A and B are shown apart, each in its own frame.
Chain A
Amino acid sequence: MTQARLTVEDLTVRYGALQAVRDISATFQPDSIVGLIGPNGAGKTTLLNALSGFTDITSGRVRLGERDITRLSGQARVALGIVRSFQTVRLLEDESVFLNVALGCERNPQPTVVEQIFSLPRQWRARRRDLAATYQILDTLGLSEFAGRAVAELPYATRRLVELARILVVHPEVVLLDEPAAGSDRAERDLMGRTLRQLHAREPFTMIVVEHDVDVVRKLCSYAIALDSGAMIASGEPDVVLENDRVQEAYFGVGHRA
């Protein structure tokens, strides 16, 4: 169960003269699935970057529960359980699926480098724990048969799953997904949507998803936020947000990618 609620207050991110995100305030309820929608350049990725500590916040606040995490580094936020994926898959392409997923165990408390190198008792326990977690999530996502394969050899949709496994290997609090189905076809999108729902049902966490596909948003999300030119133009039930006039104009007017 996720305890903490993620909130942003008057969040602004500026790059030079460009306001990539303007005065956004929102509350992400624990264990909800929130869809972030909007045309290209609306600031969706920037918002994810600001939440995950991948970009500097110009003004405003980000809180996890009562804790102000605005100035925390990305590394510190990961330690609090805020993890993310990227629009393009970021994996160690030459390494095995197993290694890529085990990398996510960084969030478990790890023994010091000296303990690791000399294989001291704390390292044995950590290793056992991390191996078990890795095999478990591989099994859950149906990746066990690929465990020893180099990531580069696998089809795109599988690599997406590997990235997801890396995020979920240690139970997260908040998961930020940047177009998890980008570059996938219809069937793969549906599959990704179903997988996300199942994973969420099994062990809930707060999930914030950037997604272009209206159907996926409708089926997956319990809440939706629409952005345009860095500002929030609508939020609420996905069906309501998608029917909103300004959303229709900003989003579908520009032409949406199916």
Chain B
Amino acid sequence: MRIAASIVVMAFVGLLPFALDSYWVFTLSEVMIYAIATIGLDIVFGRAGQLSLAQASFFGLGAYLAALTTTLPAGLQFLLVVATAMIAGAVVAIPTLRLSGLRLALVTLLFGELFIWALDHLGSLTGGTQGLVVPALAIGDSNSQDPTYGYMLVLFFAVAATLTAVQISRTQFGRRLLAVRDSEVAARSVGIGLVRTKVAAFMLSAIFAGVAGWLYAHVVGFVAPPTFDLFPSVYFLIAVILGGAGRVAGSWLGAAYIVLIPQAFSIIGQSNLFPILGGGVLILVALLLPGGLMDGATRTAGWIRARYAAMRQMSSNRRPA
């Protein structure tokens, strides 16, 4: 049943680009790219509870690597992005291991500031504030900036990222992450290595963001610093919290929100209103629905099921307990 449903969904998703016009195909690719990076942040923040404000920097790292290594074959680029992101994740994680809460958030924010500073000041390499145009990546007889091909390329990685995140939930590593978030004392008492777990979480999260950035550069064809500064990092945070920490479907929902809603605002010509809504939504969800929309949906479904069961119980013959 589940397998059949998955096949239907995959077929639908795979055929979508042939049914939509290229603008929407491109937008869906963007949603998937942001979903990959959001799933990454969900690992380090949603599951391991480490508030990182550097996710957009890892995203940017992948994007700029793509822009600077266009002459390399795609496979080599990918490996380079993964390796660099892993190192970058470790570099951010290791000095911050003794920190939590505000201090962690601040230091990761500083890493982000430093990244933007470096982009601005290495103008000859990065194009400074002007940004860089990224030539399309050739795929077979087409390229990554063809909406349909770009979509397929991104879809492949988005599915892989989703499966990875689901698999993590099924492992002891996934349980370690939750233990580090909820109770370091409990984690230590069962013998979990806090340091190794946190570093692994940061590295994984950076890899997801780096790969997403790499795809972004090749699909969008242009990179510039504002896409990777503090505000996008906060948007990734919004995506995780809105969808629901620790839930893969939540990350997708969150990514759809941070890509589609700004589009909607710009269609009605009010793009500067999006950050206001973004801030408001972040506050409301954090205060009223700390488990995020997915958690809210699960609870509602559970409530409906319970009501339904109670009604059936009442209408059927009463049996002694």
Contact = CB atoms under 8 A, between A and B. Distances in A.
Interface of A: 52, 54, 74-75, 78-79, 83-86, 90-95, 99, 102-107, 110, 113, 116-119, 123, 126-127, 130, 166
B190 A52 contact: no
Interface in B165-181: 167-168, 170-173, 175-176, 178-179
A92 B200 contact: no
Interface residues of B, number: 23
Interface in B160-217: 164, 167-168, 170-173, 175-176, 178-179, 182-183, 185-186, 188-193, 200, 204
Contacts of A106: 172, 176, 190-192
Contacts of B186: 90-92, 103
Nearest to B163: A119
Contacts, number: 78
B183 A92 contact: yes
Nearest to A53: B188
Given A74-B189, A95-B182, A103-B186, A119 B175 contact: no
B172 A90 contact: no
B167 A90 contact: no
Contact of A116 (B173, B178, B191, B192): B173
Contacts of B170: 119, 127
Nearest to A80: B191
A119 B167 contact: yes
B168 A117 contact: yes
A116 B171 contact: yes
Majority secondary structure, A binding face: helix
Contacts of B193: 75
B190 A78 contact: yes
B172 A105 contact: yes
Contacts of A94: 182
Contacts of B175: 99, 102-103
A102 B191 CA distance: 13
A123 B171 contact: yes
A24 B168 CA distance: 45
15 contacts: A74-B188, A74-B189, A90-B189, A92-B183, A94-B182, A102-B172, A103-B175, A104-B190, A105-B172, A106-B176, A106-B190, A107-B191, A116-B168, A127-B170, A130-B172
A83 B190 CA distance: 7
Nearest to A79: B191
Contacts of B167: 116-119
Given A83-B189, A127-B171, A117 B164 contact: yes
Contacts of B168: 116-117
A84 B187 CA distance: 12
A98 to B, nearest CB: 10
Contacts of B182: 92-95
Contacts of A91: 183, 186
Contacts of B188: 54, 74-75
10 nearest CB pairs, A to B: A78-B191, A116-B171, A92-B182, A90-B186, A106-B190, A116-B173, A106-B191, A113-B173, A75-B191, A110-B172
B179 A103 contact: yes
B178 to A, nearest CB: 6
A126 B170 CA distance: 11
A126 B171 CA distance: 9
B224 to A, nearest CB: 33
Contacts of A54: 188-189
Given A94-B182, A116-B168, A130-B172, 19 more contacts: A54-B189, A75-B188, A78-B190, A78-B191, A83-B191, A90-B183, A90-B186, A92-B183, A92-B186, A103-B175, A106-B172, A106-B176, A106-B190, A107-B191, A116-B171, A117-B168, A117-B204, A119-B167, A126-B172
B171 A95 contact: no
A106 B179 CA distance: 11
Nearest to A85: B189
Contacts of B171: 116-117, 123, 127
A84 B191 CA distance: 10
A86 B190 contact: no
Contacts of A102: 172, 175
B301 to A, nearest CB: 15
A158 to B, nearest CB: 17
